[in-house]
């Protein structure tokens, strides 16, 4: 395979292989899970002549890692740079364009995953292949990792540490010295972002026939108090919490509500799902407890509110470790995007997880977060080429020391 990879052709291939995340639902059908895309990637790495390994996270859902050795292998003290992109996409319900038939029009490529984040993955694969072909002098070792299940819990990225601690195939022998996560950042360098903790909470009541509601206790009325308490938390507490210089303030949102068995029954159960965004300076356990304490002390709440353990956690990304990495990447990114920013975002990525393993990590990729998950998702093709060039230039030298 030549390093002159046709990026647009490869991105079309990646989009045309569905890899929809079931988002916790029981599903069947070939569009779900990443298996077919992982097979494509395996084939790609094999054709490059590079060693690769898969790590099964759940059925039909494997992380894949490929290794390109630098001048000094990591076993002899050389640097490891991790390139990471997730394989899964969100669902396609309500899309106004064909999700898996990529179309190129007026400098954009349309399709599910084009922006989040097959575009970034393609730019990385292109740079990786080019480095594999050229083997520039003084290059660090590069591990190209394509993770699974980013969109619903990030369990793929969470398993990386376990892999590099126990990899018997010598693909990924130790923690990387730095990591770049491909997500749509409009060619800015994201050095900090908020974390996310999501959990469900329930109120209970007593069922009764709706002709005699006085005999029952409505779990929905009770949940009304909980919702008021959370609205009050947003308006009175969050606004006074310390702000982060790059991420802003913590936020909270109720994403869903379900309750009641039918119109003729007083509801005995109601459930909501809470999404609390927390700062790199906040601690997950303390944040979870703070919200629960606020509910429990709110006027009118004299009943039990049951909080489940969180079903989804994304670690926040702190900028205390990644200054040197951001500077090195910024040097190259400024050449294709004059005025490229070093910045923070309100949304979470796999970078927070790597940061929590003490790996310096930044997020950088083509496309805007505004187009991620949308009904007509697209990516500007010029950004695909520019970002691939930046990954390649950075990959040649690694972090400047």
The residues of the shown chain that bind Zn ion, judged by CB under 5 A, are 116-117, 183
Query: Would you say 50 and 69 are in contact if contact means Cβ atoms under 8 Å apart?
Result: no
Q: In angstroms, what is the minimal distance from the CB of 302 to Zn ion? A: 43
* Residue closer to Zn ion, measured from CB, 120 or 398: 120
* Residue closer to Zn ion, measured from CB, 37 or 226: 37
What tokens appear for 218 in the block?
């409505």
Q: In angstroms, what is the minimal distance from the CB of 270 to Zn ion? A: 32
Q: In angstroms, what is the minimal distance from the CB of 205 to Zn ion? A: 39
* Residue closer to Zn ion, measured from CB, 149 or 217: 149
State the sign of the Cα–Cα–Cα–Cα dihedral 104, 106, 112, 117: positive
Q: In angstroms, what is the minimal distance from the CB of 117 to Zn ion? A: 4
* Residue closer to Zn ion, measured from CB, 114 or 117: 117
* Residue closer to Zn ion, measured from CB, 152 or 221: 152
Q: In angstroms, what is the minimal distance from the CB of 183 to Zn ion? A: 5
* Residue closer to Zn ion, measured from CB, 119 or 205: 119
Q: In angstroms, what is the minimal distance from the CB of 170 to Zn ion? A: 29
Query: Would you say 384 and 8 are in contact if contact means Cβ atoms under 8 Å apart?
Result: yes
What tokens appear for 126 in the block?
């292109």
- Interatomic CA distance for residues 196 and 186, integer angstroms: 22
Query: CA separation (Å) from 61 to 49, 101, 324?
Result: 24, 23, 34
Query: Would you say 265 and 210 are in contact if contact means Cβ atoms under 8 Å apart?
Result: yes
164: closest CA among 179, 181, 183? 179
Query: What strands, in cross-sheet order, belong to the sheet with 342-345?
Result: 52-58, 61-68, 141-147, 80-86, 178-181, 361-363, 189-193, 342-345
* Residue closer to Zn ion, measured from CB, 117 or 328: 117
Q: In angstroms, what is the minimal distance from the CB of 305 to Zn ion? A: 33
Q: In angstroms, what is the minimal distance from the CB of 147 to Zn ion? A: 10
Q: In angstroms, what is the minimal distance from the CB of 126 to Zn ion? A: 18
* Residue closer to Zn ion, measured from CB, 156 or 398: 156
Q: What is the dihedral of CA 365, 115, 46, 4, to 10 degrees?
A: -70
Query: Would you say 202 and 269 are in contact if contact means Cβ atoms under 8 Å apart?
Result: yes
350-370 residues labelled b (16+ CB within 10 A) or e (exposed): bbbbbbbbebbbbbbbbbbbe
* Residue closer to Zn ion, measured from CB, 21 or 117: 117
Tell me the sheet residues that pair with 304: none
Query: Would you say 204 and 216 are in contact if contact means Cβ atoms under 8 Å apart?
Result: no
Q: DSSP of 75-104, one letter per residue?
A: GGT--EEEEEEE--B---TT-SS-TTS-EE
């Amino acid at each position: 395979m030549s390093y002159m990879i046709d990026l647009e052709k490869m991105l079309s291939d990646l989009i045309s292989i569905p890899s929809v995340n079931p988002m916790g639902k029981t599903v069947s059908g070939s569009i779900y899970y990443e298996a077919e895309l992982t097979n494509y990637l395996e084939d790609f790495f094999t054709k490059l002549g590079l060693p690769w390994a898969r790590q099964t996270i759940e059925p039909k859902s494997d992380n894949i890692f490929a290794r390109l050795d630098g001048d000094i292998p990591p076993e002899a003290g050389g640097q490891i740079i991790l390139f990471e992109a997730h394989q899964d996409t969100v669902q396609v319900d309500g899309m106004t364009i064909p999700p898996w038939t990529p179309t190129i029009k007026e400098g954009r490529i349309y399709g599910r995953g084009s922006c989040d984040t097959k575009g970034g993955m393609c730019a990385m694969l292109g740079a990786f292949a080019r480095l594999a072909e050229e083997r520039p002098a003084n290059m660090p070792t590069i591990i190209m990792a394509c993770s699974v299940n980013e969109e619903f819990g990030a369990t793929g990225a969470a398993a990386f540490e376990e892999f590099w601690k126990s990899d018997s195939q010598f693909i990924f022998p130790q923690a990387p010295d730095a990591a770049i996560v491909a997500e749509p950042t409009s060619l800015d360098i994201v050095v900090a972002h908020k974390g996310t903790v999501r959990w469900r909470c329930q109120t209970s009541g007593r069922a009764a026939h709706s002709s005699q509601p006085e005999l029952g206790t409505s779990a929905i009325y009770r949940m009304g108090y909980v919702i008021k308490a959370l609205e009050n938390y947003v308006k009175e507490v969050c606004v006074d919490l310390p702000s982060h210089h790059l991420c802003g303030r913590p936020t909270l949102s109720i994403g869903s509500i379900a309750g009641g068995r039918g119109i003729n029954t007083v509801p005995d159960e109601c459930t909501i799902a809470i999404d609390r965004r927390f700062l790199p300076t906040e601690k997950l356990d303390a944040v979870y407890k703070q919200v629960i304490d606020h509910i429990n002390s709110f006027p009118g709440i004299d009943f039990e509110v049951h909080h489940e353990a969180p079903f989804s956690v994304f670690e926040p990304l702190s900028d205390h470790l990644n200054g040197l990495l951001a500077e090195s990447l910024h040097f190259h990114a400024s050449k294709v995007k004059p005025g490229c920013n070093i910045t923070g975002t309100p949304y979470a990525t796999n970078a927070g997880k790597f940061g929590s393993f003490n790996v310096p990590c930044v997020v950088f990729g083509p496309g805007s977060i505004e187009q991620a998950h949308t009904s007509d998702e697209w990516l500007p093709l010029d950004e695909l080429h520019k970002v691939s060039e930046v990954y390649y230039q950075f990959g040649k030298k690694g972090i400047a020391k």
